[in-house]
Structure 1
Amino acid sequence: MNQTENPSMMSHVSIGTNRFTEATAFYDKVFGTLGVQRVLDFPEAVAYGKVFPEFWVHPPHNGGEASVGNGVHFAFLADSPELVDAFYGAALDAGATDEGEPGPRPQYGEAYYGCFVRDLDGHKIEAMHWDESKAASHG
């Protein structure tokens, strides 16, 4: 696929971790609920995606401590509300902290269904589903 065929504006994001082994085990579990897997695996970096590396987890390249960006979060697409629920359950089971249980988020649009958690390093992550039929009926 070339850039003119790809509707996305993003290539990938990377997050730093202070707990690489635990963090990759966490993301293995939660991404499995969304059909996302490891697509690249290096001794100190793992990349996840459905086809190509879209989400990287690794210790900071500068050797410093990883920190969380205030106001930053990462949202991952789910094919159904049930997969949002599964992501949330898997995340909590793997040690995440709750930041907002699964449910409709009408403040983001009638079609929006999502959940929020914090991963093992405190990064805010989300799974969300957009129900196009609800968007069309209110558009």
Structure 2
Amino acid sequence: MESPSILSHVSIGVADLGRSSAFYDAVLAVLGARRLIDEDGAVVYGRIFPEFGIGRPLDGGPPGVGNGMHFAFLARSRGEVDAFWRVGLEQGATEEGAPGLRPDYGPGYYACFLRDPDGHKIEAHVMDDATEEDTGAAEEAEAHPT
């Protein structure tokens, strides 16, 4: 199967694999992703093929958070973006931008931003043709810019 993506996969370091895998099990499930690889020290997620991995850093040092870096996950609907946000907060994430339209990113760009348990910035987004009135979330997004 040929992938439409230009990326093969991304892996990030985590301090507590059990805590982080429970977090990503929950938030990625709302996007239709699941664990595809679960080996000692690493868990890799995807819908069809392995795309996003978490694990203890191979050098044994503490994981670091990249300044200016974030990971965006494709949602299939605004409802999935909203669920990603809600479940993420329930799982201990901190908010970085509530679900809403981001017109600076393009028409119909609907997204939310969180910080995972290790502080990595993550996003769920969808591009669609719905309008601001369809969700009522635009004001909330403006109150929590990214």
Instruction: Return the TM-score normalized by structure 2.
Output: 0.87
Aligned position for 1:105: 102
Deviations 1:87-116 (A, max 9, x none): 000000000000000000001011200000
Aligned position for 1:7: 4
Aligned position for 1:137: none
Please list every run of 5 or more consecutive structure 1 residues that lacks an aligned counterpart in the other structure: 135-139
Shift of 1:8: 1.3
Please list every run of 5 or more consecutive structure 2 residues that lacks an aligned counterpart in the other structure: 131-146
Aligned position for 1:70: 67
Partner of 1:71, secondary structure, is: coil
Distance between the aligned counterparts of 2:107 and 2:24, measured in 1? 29
> Which stretches of structure 1, 4 residues or longer, exceed 2 Å deviation after superposition?
none
Q: Does 1:55 align with 2:52?
A: yes
Shift of 1:51: 1.0
2:43 to 43, 46, 49: 46
Aligned position for 2:139: none
Q: Does 1:32 align with 2:29?
A: yes
Calculate the aligned-residue CA RMSD, in Å. 0.9
Deviates more, 1:5-14 or 1:58-67: 5-14
Q: Does 1:119 align with 2:116?
A: yes
Shift of 1:43: 1.9
Partner of 2:27, secondary structure, is: helix
Distance between the aligned counterparts of 1:98 and 1:6, measured in 2? 31
Partner of 1:98, secondary structure, is: strand
Aligned position for 2:86: 89
